[in-house]
Amino acid sequence: MNQTATVDHFPVLDLDPFSTEFLQDPYPFHEQLREAGPVVWLSKYRVWAMARYEQVHATLKDWETYCSSAGGGLANFNKEEPWRPPSIILEADPPLHNRTRSVLQRILTRTAIEKLRAGFELEAEKLVESVLARGHIDGVMDLAEVFPLRVFPDAVGLTKEGRENLLPYANMTFNAFGPRNELFEAAFAEAETVSSWIMEQCKRESLTADGLGAQVFAAADAGEVTEKEAGMLVRSLLTAGLDTTVHGITSALYSFACFPQQWQKLREQPKMLRPAFEEVVRFQSPVQTFFRTTTREVQVGETLLQKDQKVLLFLAAANRDPRKWDNPDTFDITRRAIGHVGFGAGIHVCVGQMVARLEAESVLTALLRKVDRLELVGEPQRRLNNTLRGLSSLPLLLHKA
Ligand code: OVM
């Protein structure tokens, strides 16, 4: 045989990244994955995994070798039936991806989104005023979930009825990137009702004339996408646009409650808000993982990956890789967090990140003005999800400034 001997050697781990134990406290497992090598075989799911920054980043950038059209989750769409028609942006490669991406990109640029700022800030002021009057609040149920639900569905242009389906749908989708475990099954309990409501809202006639949804349909009028594709892109907005920002805001509240000196620092220098939220995203990684699929044989370090293999990318582990970051486990709003992969990287990098930042900045600005300290007054409860890391409860006492 003429094969390089090293090519057959690779670390094998039998851990389950979608188990309760892992999801409750992923950090020791992330370290184990990073230390095992640049690429690791996960025997339980028969997939490759990368947890070091260098490989995660390089893989996200190399869409030709590591495609998205076979699915962003564990399921390989070349072999398995997807649970819903694949997303035409997340689960698509160029050239289709470029065409759909350019539509959402234009609608979601910083300047386009700037029109929403005044309304978002006003809602944040009102919401913070009302929670502050109560003192004791739940950071998740009273703030992180409430704020995005107040601003985002209106921004898209949804009808008022049935909005309670939005978070359950996102919960389904993000759990569905993992295996068919108990989390998956629980999320899909009301799948039929929830999915059919969502699909109904994606139609042109369901949307107001002035929202982000209508702007997607304007791209259909301009011939950039078909009517059906426009509906699918609205579905992407509804899937990826709400639960992610709930988790982003939760992450911010949790980080600042745990590290009050960082909150003080931000209050002294509110101009640090933007980099501070980047550090929140790096430190907490609300979106923990995504998959890619190899389109060809590819060598990673000393390991040869075959074609059509799933690769699990630990964004969260890359964001705390000591090879890349100084004191990675320290939450420090003054660090240069740019380059983190919490929003992904490369052609699929989060297209809604400006909306996410705007929402987080609106809430945090209102809090900075009025709240001297976010005191953690009880045990935060984890909300487990196969992809997202967040909380179901965050007991806080807000101290007035
Ligand atoms: C989509 C989609 C769904 C989930 C996540 C995502 C983070 C996109 O439907 O396009 O990006």
pLDDT (tens digit per residue) in 131-140: 999 999 999 9
Residue 84's alpha-carbon distances to 71, 169, 178, 225, 321, in angstroms, are 11, 12, 14, 20, 34
Average pLDDT, the chain: 97
Cis peptide bond upstream of 94, omega within 30: no
Residue 354 neighbours by CB distance under 10 Å: 17
**Which CATH number goes with the domain that contains 259?**
1.10.630.10
The CB of 87 under 6 Å from ligand 1? The reply is yes
Task: Classify 183 as helix, strand or coil.
Answer: helix
Distance 13 CA to ligand 1 centre (A): 28
Residue 34 and residue 321 in contact, taking contact as beta carbons nearer than 8 Å: yes
Q: Which of 236, 292, 343, 349 to mutate to test the pocket of ligand 1 (most atoms within 8 A of CB)?
A: 236
Per-residue pLDDT reduced to its tens digit, 250-282? 999 999 999 999 999 999 999 999 999 999 999
The CB of 303 under 6 Å from ligand 1? The reply is no
Token couple for 115: 């029109």
Q: Could you tell me the pLDDT band of residue 9, with boundaries at 50, 70 and 90?
A: confident
The CB of 171 under 6 Å from ligand 1? The reply is no
pLDDT score at 358: 98
Amino acid making up residue 234? V
pLDDT score at 343: 98
Answer with the residue of higher pLDDT: 3 or 124.
Answer: 124
Q: Which of 88, 90, 386 to mutate to test the pocket of ligand 1 (most atoms within 8 A of CB)?
A: 90
Domain hosting 100: range is: 4-400
Residue with CA closest to ligand 1 atom 5: 240
| Count: domains in the chain | 1
The CB of 170 under 6 Å from ligand 1? The reply is no
What does the pLDDT average to over 15-44?
A: 98
pLDDT score at 152: 98
Per-residue pLDDT reduced to its tens digit, 293-334? 999 999 999 999 999 999 999 999 999 999 999 999 999 999
pLDDT of 2 strictly over 70: no
Distance 382 CA to ligand 1 centre (A): 22
Token couple for 3: 């094969």
pLDDT of 8 strictly over 90: no
Q: Could you tell me the pLDDT band of residue 6, with boundaries at 50, 70 and 90?
A: very low
Q: What percent of the chain has pLDDT over 90?
A: 98
Distance 87 CA to ligand 1 centre (A): 7
Q: Which residues lie closer than 8 Å to 92 by C-beta, 6 or more apart? A: 68, 69, 86, 100
Q: Please give the DSSP secondary-structure letter assigned to residue 347.
A: G
The CB of 68 under 6 Å from ligand 1? The reply is no
Q: Could you tell me the pLDDT band of residue 3, with boundaries at 50, 70 and 90?
A: very low
Distance 175 CA to ligand 1 centre (A): 12
pLDDT of 369 strictly over 50: yes
Q: Could you tell me the pLDDT band of residue 1, with boundaries at 50, 70 and 90?
A: very low
Task: Classify 287 as helix, strand or coil.
Answer: strand
The CB of 289 under 6 Å from ligand 1? The reply is no
